[in-house]
């Protein structure tokens, strides 16, 4: 449903195929709930954003708790899923792990234009329709959110720590 996570739809099949070609077996251990701050802004439940990190960590941990895996591949993007998956990975630190991001989202509405519309909305000078139109133009493709917020920071940090391939 969320553009940041959309690329992951086909990843499990691709990972299984690659593992099979290398003589291995890959299984999906579990999935985690995902929410997007950009979508939930002003909506009931928005306050659950940071709490969702713990739920994500627990969901990933439960998926790995069967002691049946030789390694783990974590598919994650954003400032809630990546830290939650990192907590799970550290809990199962005996398993080799790699994180695979969804890749960058193509550029949409420039940040300065988006900020201007958000400010005008906060001042009551434009309505919700104009705000939603600007938000939709900002996040119009699959991948990591285009604004320089914590989603991108998390992706860069994972690369710096060596959990992503360089340039991911």
Residue 148 has pLDDT above 60, yes or no: no
Q: How many helices (H) and strands (E) does the chain have?
A: 7, 2
Note the pTM of the prediction, 2 decimals: 0.78
pLDDT at 63: 92
Query: pLDDT tens digit string along 91-115?
Result: 999 999 999 888 777 777 887 888 8
Asked if pLDDT for residue 163 goes beyond 90, the answer is: no
DSSP assignments along 112-140, one per residue? HHHHHHHHHHHTTSS-HHHHHHHHHHHS-
* Largest distance between two CA atoms of the chain: 61
**Domains of the chain with CATH codes:** 3-105+147-161 (3.40.50), 107-140 (no CATH)
Residue 90 has which token pair?
A: 């550290």
Summarize pLDDT for 76-91 with one digit per residue, the tens: 888 888 889 999 999 9
């Amino acid at each position: 449903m969320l553009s940041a996570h959309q690329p992951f739809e086909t990843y499990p099949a691709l990972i299984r195929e690659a593992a099979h070609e290398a003589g291995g077996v890959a299984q999906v251990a579990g999935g985690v709930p995902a929410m997007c701050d950009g979508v939930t802004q002003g909506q009931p439940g928005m306050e659950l954003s940071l709490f969702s990190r713990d739920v994500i960590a627990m969901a990933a941990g439960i998926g790995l708790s069967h002691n049946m895996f030789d390694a783990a591949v974590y598919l994650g993007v954003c400032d809630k899923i990546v830290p939650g998956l990192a907590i799970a990975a550290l809990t199962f630190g005996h398993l080799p792990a790699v994180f695979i991001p969804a890749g960058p989202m193509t550029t949409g509405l420039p940040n300065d234009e988006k900020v201007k519309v958000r400010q005008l909305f906060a001042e009551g000078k434009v309505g919700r329709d104009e705000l939603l139109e600007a938000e939709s133009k900002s996040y119009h493709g699959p991948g990591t959110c285009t604004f320089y917020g914590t989603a991108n920071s998390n992706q860069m940090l994972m690369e710096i720590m060596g959990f992503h391939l360089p340039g991911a």
